[in-house]
Structures are given as C-alpha cells and as structure tokens.
C-alpha cells in the first residue's frame, strides 16, 4: 500500500525538459496572445490566422502535460506534410513564425527523448557491470559462475547434431579446454588456455565482460555529457534578451539539431549544417531510426556480456527441488491431520483478522458517519421526567411542611431547577433529631426518598453527558481501534510491493545509497586535476550515478525527499565546478550519514 503515499521521483531528462520548455515559453518576445489563440510567444506581423495544421501542432506542444514520443512523431509528420503542401513563398510570415516555435519545442522534446534513452541504456549497462563486479570480488562467485555455466559450455563445445552420428558419439571425448572457454585476443591464446587453470580462465571471461560493459557505458556517458553541457540554451543571455526574434530561435534550433546528430553519429551532421527546412524529417529520422538503432547496439552488447539468464543461474538449486518436494510431501502425508488443523487455524485467523479487525471497524465508521454513532442509550426525555418528578416532590414538601404558597413556591421551584436542595436538607436535619419517631410519624422517610430521587436525577444527567461525549468521540475511537490493523496491512502491502517490483529494502537499500554516493565522490575526485571543468565523459558518469540515487529517493518521505533532490540537482548541474560538487557531496554525507537517514 506504500504506492498510495509515495510517487516516483522525476528523472534528470524530465526535469531538464520542464526547465527548457519553461524558459522557451517565457522568452521576452512581444506577441499579442489574441492573434494566435495559443500560448505562442512569437511576434506577429500579420493579422491572418496560421495554417490549421500548424495551429493544432502548436496547441499540442504547448499543453502543460508533456507529449510522449508517439504524439511527437504525429506532430512532426503533420509538420512535414505541411512543408510538402506549401512552398516557402506560399507561407505567410505568421506561418513561418509559428513553425519556428513548433520546431523549437519539438527539438527540445527530442533532446529529452535522446537523453532519456541514453540514460536508461547506461543504467542497464551499469547494473550488469555491478553484478560482474560483485561476482569477481570472491573466489566463491567465480567458482559458482563456472559451475552454473558448465552445461552451456559443454553444449556449445559439442559438434553439430547433423555430424554427430552414433559411432562418433561413442568415440566422443570430453571437449578440450580451449573449446570450453572464450579464446584470448592474442596469437598465443591456445597455448595460454592450455596451461591456465579453469578458475583463471573463468575469471578472465568475467573480466572481459566487465571491461566491455564499462567501455560501452563510458561511450554512452560521453554522449550524455555532451547533451547535458550543450543542451537547449533558451535561458542563455544571447537568447533571453529584449532583441530576441525568430532568427535567434532558428539558429538555436539548428545548433541543437547538429548536436543531436553528432551525438548519434549521423554522417550529415559532420559535413554540413542541417537547414531548418529539413528539421522535421531529420527529427523523425532521429526518433524512428537512429534511437532504435542505438538501442539495438546496446542490446547486442548485453546479449553477449550480460549476466547469465535466470535459468542458467537457478538450474543447480532446481536439482534439489524434487528431493525437497518429496521430503515435504512425505512430511505432509505423515502429519495429514495436524496439517489440516493448522491450515484451518490459519484460515480462521486470517478471516478473523479481516472481518473483526478490518471490515467491522470500517463498517462501524460508516455507520457513525451516517447516523452519528451510538452512545449509552440514555434518552433525554427520561432525564427530563426525573427532574420534573423531583421538582414536584420538593414543592409538595414545601406546601406540607413549610406551608408555602404563591411566590414562595415559585422561588423554591427556581432553586430546585438550579440544584439547590437546602430546604429539603433542613427538614432532613430536623427530622434526624428523633429518627425513630419521625420515621413513623414525621417526614424523615419522605426527605430520604426525595434525596434518592435527587441522586437518581444526578446520575441520569451524568449518563446523559457521558452519552453525548461518547457520541462526539465515536469516530475517534473507531479510528483508534482500526489503526493497528491498518498498520499491519500497510507494512504487508509495502513488503509485497517491494518484492513484486524488485525494490531494495533494508540492507540492500542502504548499500544502494552508500555505493551510489561513494561512486559520485570517486568520479569527482578522480577527474582531471589540471582543469576545473569536468570532461563530458566524467559529467555523464556523474549523471548516471545520480540517476540511481534518484530512484533510491523514491522511498523517502515528502519533507525529506525534496531537500535530498535539491542536492542531487546541484551535483548534476553542468555549470557547477568540480570543487563545488564535492562540497555538495560532503553536505550529503553530513546531513544524511552513511545509511541515508536524515539527521535532525
């Protein structure tokens, strides 16, 4: 149930997109808003309306909710069709201005898509690299990997089925060592393989996979660093000035497009500067061809150098599954009656918890909200009748004993309503001077009965007040009774959600925080010392490491998460120098400790 209280943290690319689009929307370009009927901020020299396709595209891109990749492709295809339908001479000045703003917003969203795709691929590579690194840290991990992959090695070393006849199978010998392990990239690979132990060969394979993953991750980190440092500059001083016009937006759009093409290794970006007229088709090419091609290259690397499949890693424990099932089944059969009783008790326990501790309290809360709750059942009419009966008894005593009448009786009635029993107590005190005589012939018994009625009336009033108190606090008592079961369900739901999504909890969560922050600090310390500015590769590696901490921050409460996210944004900021980022890391260590717990 924790997903009801926690929301996932935004990614670096999403936050940068929101910032760039906000800067683009607030550029100081004077435009009457009534002319475009959209959120455009471009100057208008004519009073005519823009092309309906352009107007619809600008409306979609100007919404507060960011468009996804599929919607952006539709917008770019529509814009490309409008390019083909109208030549440049047929377009009025308003169409050209609206088109420039559409392209400015589109190129910003494409920049985010490319950056997000590279970040996701880099995180996948880094996750596999972490697995290899953890396995290489001990001899047990290397030996377990060799044992897990041995069936696959033997199967790969066997000759093809078409050539494996029955006589050949009988004469088949165990595959030589050089066929069981990947060859070295040297001329002496066969000789080295023949004299090297299987443990060392396995370790070499693991080191090779780790090296390839690191190499590909560093390549993506360099691209991420380029995109982060040379991203959209809508908030730069050269653009956010009072003289900003369509030409400045067109030049900045072309610059971003060339950066994207250079990052994705598109040949046309290295030779000539792409024109603004070809921008829609180039963006479509980036989204539909280049990004999938980049993902395919990452998948090829992961297919070769990723960790073994779950089936490969679990075949050895699966061998012990049949004996374990047999032993468990035998134990259940031998203790069939006891097992049935335990299952019945467990079912009744769960049913009693759900019905008596969850459903019935919730039902009681609903009844309380509808009917105002239940009290002690004391009727106000009963209390009123007791008060009136007491008043009549005291007034009769005043007539008979004090011979009161008229205003004196009215005054006595007022005293009785306010709870003053002085007149009755005086009679009682006098009668007590001769208790036996007055009990038989006087008013002693009468005064005693009046005091009993007074006690009954006071008790009724107290019960009525308690009844009102219980009714007013009925909802509070209901929630207090329901809170233990809600806490149990909350903890159980959070645990199940963590298991289903594979989230790290407890020690694993602390390790994720510690390793992530330590990796960021190591990258900042080992960056080149001769320059204050970080290289694109180091900047990209820092962004990749911070992205894992962004995922970790999802489990933080709202009041702590925002302050932690602010520190992460400062580390990601390309404008900050290496020394400043190290100071931010020191502040995180100081405020959050080594376990990720906020220090008050």
Q: Which pLDDT tens digit goes with each residue over 224-251?
A: 999 998 888 887 655 655 555 677 888 8
pLDDT over 50 at 7, yes or no: yes
- Which of 15-29, 397-411, 456-470, 538-552 has the largest mean confidence? 538-552
Q: What would the 3-class secondary structure string for 193-242 be?
A: HHHCCHHHHHHHHHHHHHHHHHHHHHHHHHHHHHHHHCCCCCCCCCCCCC
Query: Please, are residues 268 and 289 in contact by the beta-carbon 8 Å criterion?
Result: no
Contact status, residue 232 vs residue 252, Cβ threshold 8 Å = yes
Residue 41 CA to residue 105 CA, distance in Å, equals 12
Q: Based on the domain organization, do 493 and 464 belong to the same domain?
A: no
Q: 365 and 425 share a domain? A: no
Task: For residue 234, give both structure tokens.
Answer: 């809508």
Decide if 262 contacts 270 (C-beta within 8 A). yes
Q: Which two tokens stand for residue 387?
A: 């008060």
Task: Please give the residue range of the domain that contains residue 574.
Answer: 504-592
Residues 287/110, Cβ–Cβ less than 8 Å: yes
Range scoring the smallest mean pLDDT among 106-115, 224-233, 260-269, 331-340: 260-269
pLDDT at 185: 54
Q: Which of 108-117, 249-258, 404-413 has the lowest mean pLDDT?
A: 404-413
User: Which of 50-64, 139-153, 345-359, 450-464 shows the lowest per-residue confidence on average (mean pLDDT)?
Assistant: 50-64
Please tell me the predicted confidence (pLDDT) of residue 506. Answer: 65
Whether 333 and 419 share a structural domain: no
pLDDT at position 164 over 80: no
Q: What is the DSSP string of 369-420?
A: HHH--------HHHHHHHHHHHHHHHHHHIIIII---THHHHHHHHHHHTT-
* 3 within a domain of the structure (yes/no): no
Q: Do residues 517 and 586 both lie within one domain?
A: yes
Confirm if 366 and 474 have CB atoms less than 8 A apart: no
pTM greater than the 0.85 cutoff: no
Taking the C-alpha atoms of residue 529 and residue 174, their distance in angstroms, rounded to an integer, is 54
Judge whether residue 221 has pLDDT over 90: yes
Question: Among 583, 541, 550, which residue's Cα sits nearest to residue 7?
Answer: 550
Q: Per the domain annotation, does 600 fall within a domain?
A: no
Among 21-25, 255-259, 294-298, 463-467, the minimum mean pLDDT is found in 463-467
User: Is 579 a member of any domain?
Assistant: yes
Same domain membership, residue 64 and residue 43: yes
SS3 call for 64: coil
Under the banding of pLDDT at 50, 70 and 90, the label for residue 588 is: very high
Structure confidence at residue 44 (pLDDT):
40
Please give the share of the chain, as a percent, with pLDDT higher than 90: 16
Specify the pLDDT at position 39: 39
**Pair (352, 479) in one structural domain:** yes
Task: State the pLDDT at residue 279.
Answer: 76
55-64, 103-112, 117-126, 297-306, range with the lowest pLDDT: 55-64
Average pLDDT over residues 113-119: 93
Average pLDDT in the chain: 78
pLDDT at 187 over 70: no
Handedness of CA 34, 39, 45, 47 (dihedral sign): negative
| CA 163 centroid distance within chain | 55
**What is the arithmetic mean of pLDDT over 149-172?**
68
* Domain assignment of residue 576, yes or no: yes
Note the pLDDT of residue 126: 92
Confidence band for 132, pLDDT divided at 50, 70 and 90:
very high
**Cβ atoms of residues 212 and 132 within 8 Å:** no
Q: Are residues 363 and 293 in the same domain?
A: no
Q: Are 9 and 566 in contact (CB under 8 A)?
A: no
215 inside domain:
no
Does 116 share its domain with 26?
yes
The answer to whether residue 332 sits within a structural domain is: yes
Q: Answer yes or no: do 466 and 416 share one domain.
A: yes
* pLDDT of res. 267: 65
Same domain, 409 and 546: no
So what's the pLDDT on residue 122? 94
How many domains are contained in the chain? 4
At 282-303, the pLDDT tens digits run 888 888 888 999 999 999 999 9
Residue 329 domain flag? yes
Confidence of residue 72 (pLDDT cuts 50, 70, 90): confident
Q: 374-381 — which CB contacts under 8 Å span 24+ positions? A: 374/470, 374/471, 374/474, 375/466, 375/467, 375/468, 375/470, 375/471, 375/474, 376/463, 376/466, 376/467, 376/470, 377/467, 378/460, 378/463, 378/464, 378/467, 380/464
Q: 68 lies in a domain?
A: yes
Given a cut of 70, whether residue 444 has pLDDT beyond it is: yes
Q: Which of 22-26, 310-314, 361-365, 374-378 has the lowest mean pLDDT?
A: 374-378
Q: What is the pLDDT of residue 209?
A: 92
Tell me: do 232 and 103 sit in the same domain: yes
Residues 419 and 479 placed together within one structural domain of the fold = no
């Amino acid at each position: 149930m924790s997903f009801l209280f926690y929301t996932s943290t935004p990614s670096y690319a999403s936050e940068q997109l929101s910032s760039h689009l906000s800067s683009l929307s607030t550029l100081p370009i004077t435009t009457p808003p009534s002319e475009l009927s959209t959120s455009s901020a471009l100057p208008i020299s004519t009073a005519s309306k823009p092309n309906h396709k352009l107007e619809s595209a600008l409306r979609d891109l100007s919404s507060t909710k960011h468009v996804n990749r599929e919607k952006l492709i539709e917008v770019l295809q529509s814009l490309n069709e409008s390019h083909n339908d109208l030549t440049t001479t047929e377009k009025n000045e308003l169409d050209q201005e609206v088109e420039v703003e559409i392209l400015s917003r589109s190129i910003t969203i494409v920049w985010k898509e490319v950056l997000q795709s590279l970040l996701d691929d880099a995180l996948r590579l880094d996750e596999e690299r972490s697995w290899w690194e953890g396995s290489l840290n001990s001899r047990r991990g290397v030996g377990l990997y060799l044992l897990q992959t041995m069936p696959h090695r033997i199967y790969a070393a066997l000759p093809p089925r078409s050539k494996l006849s029955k006589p050949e199978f009988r004469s088949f010998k165990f595959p030589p060592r050089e066929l069981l392990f990947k060859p070295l990239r040297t001329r002496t690979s066969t000789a080295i393989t023949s004299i090297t132990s299987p443990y060392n060969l396995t370790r070499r394979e693991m080191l090779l996979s780790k090296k390839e993953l690191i190499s590909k991750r560093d390549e993506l980190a360099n691209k991420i660093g380029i995109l982060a440092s040379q991203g959209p500059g809508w908030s730069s001083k050269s653009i956010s000035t009072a003289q900003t016009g369509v030409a400045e937006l067109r030049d900045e759009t072309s610059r971003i497009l060339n950066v994207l093409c250079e990052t994705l290794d598109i040949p046309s970006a290295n030779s000539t500067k792409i024109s603004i007229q070809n921008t829609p088709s180039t963006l479509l090419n980036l989204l539909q061809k280049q990004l999938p091609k980049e993902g395919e290259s990452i998948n090829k690397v992961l297919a070769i150098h990723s960790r073994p499949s779950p089936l490969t890693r679990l075949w050895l424990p699966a061998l012990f599954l049949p004996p374990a099932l047999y032993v468990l089944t035998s134990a259940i059969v031998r203790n069939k009656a006891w097992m049935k009783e335990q299952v019945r008790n467990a079912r009744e326990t769960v049913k009693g918890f759900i019905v008596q501790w969850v459903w019935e309290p919730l039902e009681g809360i609903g009844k309380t909200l509808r009917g105002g709750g239940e009290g002690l059942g004391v009727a106000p009419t009963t209390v009123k009748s007791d008060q009136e009966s007491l008043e009549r008894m005291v007034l009769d005593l005043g007539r008979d004993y004090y011979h009161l009448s008229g205003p004196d009786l009215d005054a006595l009635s007022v005293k009785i309503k306010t709870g003053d029993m002085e007149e009755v107590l005086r009679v009682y005190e006098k009668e007590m001077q001769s208790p036996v005589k007055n009990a038989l012939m006087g008013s002693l018994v009468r005064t005693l009965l009046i005091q009993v009625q007074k006690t009954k009336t006071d008790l009724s009033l107290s019960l009525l007040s308690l009844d009102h108190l219980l009714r007013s606090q009925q909802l509070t008592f209901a929630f207090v009774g329901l809170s233990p079961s809600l806490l149990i369900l909350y903890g159980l739901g959070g645990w199940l959600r963590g298991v289903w999504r594979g989230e790290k909890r407890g020690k694993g969560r602390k390790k994720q925080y510690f390793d992530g922050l330590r990796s960021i600090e190591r990258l900042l310390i080992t960056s080149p010392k001769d320059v204050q500015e970080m290289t694109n590769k180091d900047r990209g590696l820092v962004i990749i490491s911070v992205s894992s901490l962004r995922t970790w921050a999802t489990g933080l409460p709202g009041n702590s998460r925002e302050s932690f996210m602010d520190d992460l944004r400062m580390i990601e900021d390309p404008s900050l120098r290496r020394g400043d980022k190290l100071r931010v890391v020191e502040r995180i260590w100081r405020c959050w400790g080594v376990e990720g717990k906020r220090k008050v």
